[in-house]
Amino acid sequence: MSDEQRFFRFLQQRIGLDVASVGAPMVERALRQRCAAVNTVNLDDYWLLLQQSSAEQQALIEAVIVPETWFFRYPESFTALADLARKRLAELGGSRPLRILSLPCSTGEEPYSIAMALLDAGVAVHAFRVDGMDISPLSVKRAEQGLYGRNAFRGAHLDFRQRHFDETDEGHQLHERVRQQVDLQVGNVLDPALRAREGSYDFVFCRNLLIYFDVPTQQRVFEVLKSLIHAQGVLFIGPAEGSLLARLGMRPLGISQSFAFVHQTEPAPVIDSRPVNVVPISPPAPNVPRPVPAPARKRTMISPPAARVLAPDSSAELLAQIARLANAGSSAEAQAACARYLQHYPPHAQVFYWLGLLSDTAGEADAALSHYRKALYLEPQHPEALVHLAALLESRGDSAGARRLQERAARRVGREPEQ
């Protein structure tokens, strides 16, 4: 066993980390940092210290874990949550409050986003509780402070910051009304103590965690998550993890871009397609690209039947229609609108991305693979196409190809300006 392999094995056993998913250089860099911090001569000396000190074991885990999160990440998930939460509360009839879990909760952006989304949707403070859990004590401590810098606020829709934060010299301080809705604790998804919470949660958010585990650990974590969710509950996952859950016995709700899954044996809740007034979510803006000028062509080139179906007057309007249909779960209509677009306008990356997502949701992996690749041919750094194609490649055993796409997506996100 090489000097580093024993540390890789330690991290796999302790937190389930598949080192290949983050890259060996990242872990090796963390090892160098910790060796310097504790003044050990070499990796052999550091290994001895690691075996003797639980504090140093946690310090190494902290050095490896690099949280990357912000408020209202994947905003469509919070739109879906608000609608589903109101329906679930009606079913419960006041018998108990909703219980929601965010795991891992990192530095608090996700559980606090959940609380803000529900409060903005008119859900009463006594009607829900949010549990946040993370393996990192440092991350939990930061979350408890509720103080955030510019990097926690990304995107164009930041109205929530004025409603739920106070600006201070140190950053933006979260209002106590939101903080009181969230209980934070240190914990591990693989901790056997979680079995005591079986069936406790109406909604579980566990996003961008499974992709860092090897297959056996993924299956173990999935069984834990499935056991935590109530029979009528919903699991929200990351965009790169949908293919994995579909293979492990859960099915998507069909709310596009929400990445929401339910038990395979349970009927899907009926979703009201009317927009939910949850600020700062603004559907379909994140999904509609800049307008593409229509090519100069005469209307007489379009056959009469097609002309009657093609109601939108521009490519931009048809793109917006595709997004509305897909976000409403109208898959067949969205696919038909995509076909109309490609018939009358030049190829567009966003159209092929929608086709890929619709095929992916329907379980048509080969078609999804082809569509995502076409989207990336037209727009090499299309963020959603990158993560979805990575998930498909991973599901087919092409881990190296998946990692390359994930790295491209990470570089793309890193270039986005902060707000």
> Per-residue pLDDT tens for 236-245?
987 667 666 6
Which run of H or E residues covers position 214? none
Model pLDDT, residue 265: 61
Contact of 99 with 111, CB cutoff 8 Å: no
Whether the CB-CB separation of 142 and 152 falls below 8 Å is answered with no
pLDDT score for 328: 64
How far CA 10 is from CA of 51, 141, 192, 209, 306, in Å, comes to 10, 25, 19, 18, 62
Is residue 158 packed enough to be buried (19+ CB in 10 Å), middle (13-18) or exposed (0-12)? middle
State pLDDT tens for residues 246-284: 666 778 887 777 788 887 664 444 444 333 344 343 333
Please tell me the predicted confidence (pLDDT) of residue 121: 96
C-beta separation of 72 from 113 below 8 A: yes
Please choose, from the candidates 174, 148, 123, 159, the residue with its C-alpha nearest in 3D space to the C-alpha of residue 67.
148
With residue 136 as reference, give the H or E element that holds it. Answer: none
Among candidate residues 292, 271, 268, 293, the one with its CA nearest the CA of residue 283: 271
Closest listed residue to residue 269, CA positions, set 285, 287, 252: 252
Distance CA(48)–CA(41), nearest Å, equals: 11
Ordered by start, the domain boundaries in the chain are 5-64, 75-263, 285-414
Identify the CATH homologous superfamily for domain 285-414: Tetratricopeptide repeat domain (1.25.40.10)
Q: Which residues pair with 201 in a beta bridge?
A: 229
- In this prediction, residue 131 carries a pLDDT of 97
The CATH superfamily of 75-263 is Vaccinia Virus protein VP39 (3.40.50.150)
pLDDT of residue 45: 93
**Which segments of the chain have a pLDDT < 70?**
1-2, 21-22, 66-67, 239-240, 242-248, 264-313, 327-329, 409-419
157 HSE (CA, 13 A, CB side): 15
